Chains A and B, each alone.
Chain A
Amino acid sequence: MPDQAFDHGAAAQSGQAGGAHTAPPAAVRVQGLWKRFGEQIAVAGIDLELPAGKFIGLVGPNGAGKTTTLSMVTGLLRPDQGTVEIGGHDVWRDPVRVKSRIGVLPEGLRLFERLSGRELLAYSGRLRGLPGAEVDKRATQLLDVLDLAGSQHKLVVDYSTGMRKKIGLAAALLHNPQVLFLDEPFEGVDPVSAQTIRGVLERYTASGATVIFSSHVMELVESLCDWVAVMAAGRIRAQGTLAEVRGDAPTLQSAFLELVGAQGRDAGESLDWLGGGAGR
């Protein structure tokens, strides 16, 4: 049962309490991960060590390989090469221990949209072996907190983007995983829903669980995360605490632009005729 295996979060908390000298145990360890799609290399041999109990951002421009990486880490896409361990267990060799410990909200994949929000949660919980009464109780609470109680009997196919992200998040949280993987959880989400999702995630990490989410919005990552991995063109450019990655740069945004080599790119000079109302 996922709940019984919650030792890891507690270990993470003790790691934090022990001060900066004790390195927190890794929630996710990735070594030499590769993925090619035909000629194109999507992920080019990345190594990552993501600490447990942190709010971790995987940032990078579009096409950097974030979704491919997260799919391989969560067992939805088979890597060409490399190993992935979650909580010390190999994702591909020991799926029994891994799958019960993780929650996933993928990007670009559908949900069972012909179920209502509540039916989707009931289905998801029972697939994971939770008893029916417990699923009902947790679903009611999640629907309330995520502000979906009013639409719980509507089919998911009729939900808005924000509502879909929220019901997907609820399904990912239902079995109380130790590590939560969210691919672009704030993409296309209105500010009100974004704030709700944020609140739930902050409460969840405060309990010692780990959240790993991908995004290309730097301000969001800077305000939410305490640990960041920067990805570009299928490689990891930097990883560490927010302060480490930011370095001397004033914001994460400028540090990121420097890391991906986009800082010096001049967008203005070649468009010197562009001036709107200033003249012809």
Chain B
Amino acid sequence: MSADSVVAPAGSAGPADAVSSGLTPLFVRLKLALLKNGLRQSSGRTAAFIASFVLVVLFSAAQLLGLILLRGTEYAPVFTLLITLVLALGWTFMPLFFPSGDETLDPSRLVMLPLRPRPLVRALLVASLVGIGPLFTVCLVVGSVIAVAHGFAGAVTALLGAVLTVLTCVAVARTVATLNVRLLTSRRGRDLAVLSGLVIAVGIQVVNFGWQRLARSGDLSVLDPVTDVVQWIPPASAVGAVHSVSEGAYGRGVCQLLLAVVALVLLLWVWERGLVKLMTAPDGSTLQASSGPSRKESKAGPLSRLLPDGRTGATVQRVLRYIWRDPKTKGAWITSLAIGLIIPVFNALQGTGSVYLACIATGMLGMLTFNQFGTDTSAFWMVATSISTTRDAYEELRARLLALLAITVPYTLLVTCVTAAVVGDWRTLPEVLGLAFALLGALLAAGMVASMRYPYSVPSEGSKTVVPGQGSLAWMSLVAGVVVSMVLCAPLIALTVWLHVAGHATWILLPVGTVYGALAAWAGLKAAAPGTARRLPEILGAVSKG
């Protein structure tokens, strides 16, 4: 690794102080060498890097231009403050979700070198400014301060503010990474990284709804209370200071600037302390070896006492534990739960909602059945060796379905009731619930058959949900399954339309839909069980590729 070749001469140069003086250029060279060597590993990576570099440069340029055009408009202060805040939040959480993105983020690699903490902090801080992310940040921050700076005092504050903001962003990422390095290099850290996609997915939904709301109202004054708070939060306070000084509010500007300086100094202090602790305390392997059992004894809890003995209880319990403990499964569930709640409730809050949208929650959760065995990975052999008859397969599938229903049914009730309450339309509630249960039954039935017929592997690491080569299989299974469940639901939908047109009472859909859904799920189980018992080796082969 070139890291060694760059650092080695420093290590052999003699006293630590002598090393420290040339440390900053050394670390910048190290960062550049790491970037270069990373690219050398594969042409695909080089292409990806160049593509993302070009994209980021174009995007940053567009942002910079946009912000400059914003200069002088009434929206400039609000926008620049919010952009700075979002940037700072991004830098705070990025190292938690993409710990492998920057190799120099892990200071424990430098433990063996004779380095003093203060020069190290300085060197690492400067080195962090090298890269695509910092370039993007610099463009946005420069654009932001240009958008709000007026006059000589404003320009001077803008310069100070921009430097402060960029440094704070970089320092906060470093501090978070240093304080969590044990977490990030452990299994728990990798688990957390798998959940990053989920945060992004849910975040996009929230931002999307927020944006729509803002666009609809067409008046940025709704953001005033937010701006009042944000302008005092560092590092946005540095950009706030530029605006204050440009307006002639020097006192407020100086306070905001000072706040940003204090925050940066505090961050650097915390980071330095973290570095010292990290580099002088025993490392993760030692701690792990000497620590006791990590998980408290989970003696038969209330849940396991409730569950029946035998395969049903064992499988329900395992599936529920996996939903909680396996990052991939957990991510899929939380995404479905969150999106299933956000879409109907946010729409209802905006006045465009309908209780019928609550069926989205049921649909999202029902689709989780489509690759029942995939999340088992190759551990499915433990299930395969215990299934000898169609009855065994039926019990196994039924238990998996029960585990799912234990969450889905109450959640459907909750989302439907909340949506009905927000919309203020309790009269539609029974028919929507009936339809939702029918849809759930149909999806579960299709999901069970699809799991047996088209199983595929789910890789346990990374953000992918299908291993390369099985993508089309996964799509086919999902699309065919959704189409089949729609067809299965058609009679109920037809009945709903007829009841509405004929003006009959629609509450009848609740019992009819519930019974229909239950029957559909039962039929799906019956249809999938013989195939599951017959195709055990094929299913095991298909789910073991991850």
Q: Please report A residues at the B interface, Cβ cutoff 8 Å.
A: 74-78, 95-96, 98-100, 102, 104, 106, 108-116, 119, 122-124, 126-129, 131-132, 150-155, 157-158, 171
Contacts and interface: CB of A to CB of B under 8 A. Distances in A.
B295 A153 contact: yes
12 contacts: A76-B384, A76-B537, A78-B537, A95-B389, A96-B389, A98-B388, A99-B387, A100-B388, A102-B385, A114-B322, A119-B298, A124-B382
Contacts of A95: 388-389
Given A109-B378, A109-B544, A127 B314 contact: yes
Nearest to B537: A78
Nearest to A74: B385
A156 B189 CA distance: 17
A127 B382 contact: yes
Contacts of B298: 116, 119, 153
Nearest to B540: A76
B187 interface: yes
A155 B295 contact: yes
Interface string B326-366: 10000000000000000000000000000000000000000
Interface in B490-529: none
B382 A171 contact: yes
B309 A152 contact: no
Contacts of B464: none
Contacts of B537: 75-78
B118 interface: no
Interface string B356-398: 0000000000000000000011110111111111000000000
A123 B318 CA distance: 7
B379 A113 contact: yes
Nearest to B395: A127
Contacts of A132: 309
B536 interface: yes
B293 interface: yes
B315 interface: yes
Contacts of B376: 112
B282 interface: no
Contacts of B382: 111-112, 123-124, 127, 171
Interface in B307-322: 309-311, 313-315, 317-318, 321-322
Interface string B293-306: 11111100000000
B314 A153 contact: no
Contacts of B293: 150-154
B276 to A, nearest CB: 28
Nearest to B386: A127
B538 interface: yes
B381 A76 contact: yes
A188 to B, nearest CB: 17
Interface residues of B, number: 39
Contact of A75 (B187, B326, B536, B541): B536
Contacts of B292: 150
Nearest to B396: A127
Nearest to A152: B293
B325 A114 contact: yes
Contacts, number: 100
**Smallest CB-CB A-B distances: 3 pairs:** A126-B314, A95-B388, A109-B378
A93 B121 CA distance: 69
A77 B536 CA distance: 9
Interface string B463-485: 00000000000000000000000
Contact of A76 (B294, B310, B385, B388): B385
A112 B318 contact: yes
A251 to B, nearest CB: 35
Given A99-B388, A128-B386, A114 B326 contact: yes
Given A100-B388, A124-B386, A132-B309, 16 more contacts: A74-B385, A96-B389, A102-B385, A104-B381, A108-B378, A112-B322, A116-B295, A119-B321, A122-B314, A123-B382, A127-B311, A127-B386, A131-B309, A153-B295, A153-B298, A155-B294
A116 B387 CA distance: 23
B309 A112 contact: no
A111 B204 CA distance: 36
A234 B314 CA distance: 39
A51 B116 CA distance: 69
A75 B384 CA distance: 9
Interface centre among A78, A108, A109 (most CB of B within 10 A): A109
A115 B297 contact: no
A110 B378 contact: yes
B386 A111 contact: no
Contacts of A104: 381, 385
A227 B388 CA distance: 30
A111 B379 contact: yes
Contacts of B317: 123
Contacts of B313: 126
A153 B293 CA distance: 6
Nearest to B315: A127
B384 A96 contact: no
Contacts of A77: 537, 540-541
B383 A127 contact: yes
Contacts of A112: 318, 322, 376, 379, 382
Most buried by B among A76, A110, A114: A114
Contacts of A171: 382
Contacts of A116: 295, 298
Contact of B310 (A100, A129, A158): A129
B35 to A, nearest CB: 33
Contact of A126 (B310, B378, B379, B383): B310
Contacts of A111: 379, 382
A43 to B, nearest CB: 14
A100 B296 CA distance: 32
Given A76-B537, A111-B382, A123-B318, A158 B326 contact: no
A157 B385 contact: no
A157 B295 CA distance: 12
